[in-house]
Amino acid sequence: MSFAASFIIYLVLALLIDALAVPRGRFARRPPWALAMAVLTFTWLYAAWFAVSWRPVFAASAGLVAFALLTIISNHKFRYTQEPLNFMDFVLVPQIWRHPHLYQAEFLRHPLLFAGVAAVFGYIAFWCHVFEPSMLPDEHFWDRAVPLGVLVAAIVGWIVIGPVPASLSDRLQRRMTPADSTRDVRDLGLAASLVAGLLAWRRVTASPRTGLAAPAGKLALEPPPIVIAVQSESFVDLQRAGLRDIALPALAAARAHAVAHGRVRVPVQGAWTLRSEFVFLSGRPLETFGLDALHPYLRLPAPPRTLAHLLRDAGFATMFVHPYDLRFFNRRGAMPKLGFDRLLGEEDFAEASRDGYFVPDMAVVERVLSVAGNERRPFFGMVATMENHHPWDKNRMPGGKTPVEQYVHHLHNADRMIARLVAGIENLGRPAVLAFYGDHVPALPALADPFPDPRTDYFVMGLRDGTWLAGEHRDRELHELADVILGTLGKVCASRI
């Protein structure tokens, strides 16, 4: 088959595969620039395979297989999180390799995978030596193969780190913001959305500094107050969601004594916990951060002023606790920039027994209560729990429990954690604010597919003079909770003069 014929067939098939990416929009309605970008992307992919093989049929086949696999992965992600692939997902490849079980990718370490890779390389060798000879004459290696390889590498380098004309990046930013990969794949196609998103993201824009207001009036900081915020992994009240009649007595008791409680709208479903974390701390909607909203911790050239900053400026010791690898989502680098002076990670819970795969919620809150009780200054601790993180599979715990039973087991543990927090704060006998919310609904098809309501649950409690302040039921957006906390802090620490 000639070079031109193989490329034309490849391009038509690649565009057909692109049209199969979900969510699907009408191909004919894609803007011309998106079609042009898709064609250029597929041309580069073909050129890359051709540069290493100089075999047109092989280049076409390898390019189609590679993009088909990418489309399958994107469609799989959309099923579980209602979000297809975006360019930022490729940043996660190192942590997928370090923690494959979190991504249901244990096959990456299975011997059969390596055997399969070896078989693929063997088939490629057979193809190249028997089925399709190279088009490159031996005497023209340096003047043909090397320049083509350099050109392909230069294109990749330009896309990733090269200078982008301001007019191009500005136009792409306006089109690609607010960040919404579901909209982009539907309207532009998977290939164009990946490349356009990357080019637009590379233009750094200023982040909004803060959406938070300091507590009104003078705070009485003696005795030193305590603020604890808990982001509970995959926590949702299944009764309120209309899915299961699961009683959570500690949650019900906390609501009865809360300043505010209700359903809370979070920016993600089933994954990307850090977006909820970032929205809560910054007190701003995620869409105000442009394309950095896809991975807020990847780069923080001008970090927003957060709840932790405001409390630290008011004299609080600030601590962030996540009982897992703090390199995950770059928390180790990001959290100090977001106002936390002390970090506790998985290594700080090495002695804690696991419940399922992860450090139990109870061990985490016992540590936080201990630190708060020994801290002589006002204390702010934020906890991002890990116990109820997927996967919920047959190896998670003994007894052959189903995924739903495993999830409910950990949900009950989270409820017991709430009771322990409330009792522990009361025993400390200091003014306190306790906030709690679920980071996202679980990605658990056996429970709901899709989840009927992406909201989770929250409450904020305020303790003054040994009494929990009264409040109201009110559904909220997640970014509003930081202001509720600050307002409650103003009430529990208001001057008693």
3-state SS, residue 451: coil
Residue 321 β-bridge partners: 344, 383
Q: Do residues 428 and 226 touch, judged by C-beta distance below 8 A?
A: yes
3-state SS, residue 163: coil
Give the pLDDT score at 206: 63
d(CA 68, CA 325): 32
Helix residue ranges per DSSP H, 27-83: 32-53, 56-81
pTM of this prediction? 0.90
Match domain 226-492 to its CATH number in 3.40.720.10, 3.40.50.720, 3.10.129.10, 3.40.50.2000.
3.40.720.10
| Residue reference for tokens 């057909």 | 16
DSSP code of residue 128: I
Both tokens of 176, joined, read: 């690609």
Query: How, if at all, do strands 226-232 and 472-473 pair?
Result: unpaired
Residue 473 β-bridge partners: 261
The full length of the chain comes to 497
Q: Do residues 232 and 439 touch, judged by C-beta distance below 8 A?
A: yes
- Residue 8: count other Cβ atoms within 10 Å of its Cβ: 12
Give the pLDDT score at 497: 45
> Long-range contacts for 396-404 (Cβ within 8 Å, ≥24 apart)?
396/356, 396/357, 397/355, 397/356, 402/446, 403/444, 403/446, 403/447, 404/244, 404/444, 404/446, 404/447
Beta strands in 322-452 (DSSP E): 342-344, 379-384, 432-438
CB proximity list for 135: less than 8 A, separation 6 or greater: 3, 54, 55, 56
Both tokens of 392, joined, read: 């919920």
Cα 394 to Cα 101, 398, 400, distances in angstroms: 13, 8, 6
Q: Per-10-residue mean pLDDT for the chain, 497 residues long?
A: 83 96 92 94 89 85 93 91 91 81 67 72 69 69 64 72 79 91 96 93 70 67 93 95 92 97 94 94 92 91 90 95 94 96 96 93 97 96 96 85 94 98 96 97 88 94 95 96 95 74
Burial of 7 (0-12, 13-18, 19+ CB in 10 A): buried
HEC secondary structure over 293-307 = HHCCCCCCCCCCCCH
- Residue 428: count other Cβ atoms within 10 Å of its Cβ: 15
Give the pLDDT score at 144: 62
Q: What are phi and psi of 165, to 5 degrees?
A: -55, 135
Give the pLDDT score at 156: 73
Angle at 435 between CA 429 and CA 436, to 5 degrees: 125
Residue 382 β-bridge partners: 229, 320
3-state SS, residue 319: strand
| Residue reference for tokens 């920039």 | 337
Domain ranges of the chain: 3-201, 226-492
Give the pLDDT score at 225: 96
Q: Do residues 349 and 363 touch, judged by C-beta distance below 8 A?
A: yes
d(CA 278, CA 296): 7
Give the pLDDT score at 211: 67
Cis geometry, peptide bond prior to residue 178 (ω within 30 degrees of 0): yes
For residue 263, what is the enclosing H or E element?
strand 260-265
Give the pLDDT score at 218: 63
Give the pLDDT score at 138: 65
Distance between first and last Cα of the chain: 90
